[in-house]
Structure 1
Amino acid sequence: MVVLVTGESGSGTLLLAATPLGDARDASPRLTEALATADLIAAEDTRRVRALAGSLRVTPAGRVLSYYDAVEESRQPTLLEALRGGSTVLLVTDAGMPSVSDPGYRLVAACASEGLPVSCLPGPSAVTTALALSGLPSDRFCFEGFPPRKPGPRRRWLAGLVAEQRTAVFFEAPHRIADTLDDAVTVLGSRRRAAVCRELTKTYEQVRRGELGELAEWARDGVRGEITVVLAGAETAAPEDPAELVAQVEQRAASGMRLKDAVAEIAEMGGVRKKDLYDAVLAARG
Structure 2
Amino acid sequence: MSTSSPEGVKKLLENMQADLRSLSMESKKKFPPVKEAAESGIVKIKTISARNTDILAALKENSSEMVQPFLMGCGTKEPKITQLSLAAIQRLMSHEVVSEAAAGNIIHMLWQLMEFGLEELKLLQTVLVLLTTNTTVHDEALAKAIVLCFRLHFTKDNITNNTAAATVRQVVTVVFERMVAEEQRFKGVVEEAPLVQGNSNRRCVTTLRPCAKDAYMLFQDLCQLVNADAPYWLVGMTEMTRTFGLELLESVLNDFPQVFLQHQEFSFLLKERVCPLVIKLFSPNIKFRQGCGSAGGSGGSSSSPAPLEKPYFPICM
TM over 0.5: no
TM-score (norm 1): 0.28
TM-score (norm 2): 0.26
- Counting helix residues as a fraction of each chain, which structure ranks higher? 2
- Counting strand residues as a fraction of each chain, which structure ranks higher? 1
* Larger RCO, structures 1/2 (Cα 8 Å, 6+ apart): 1
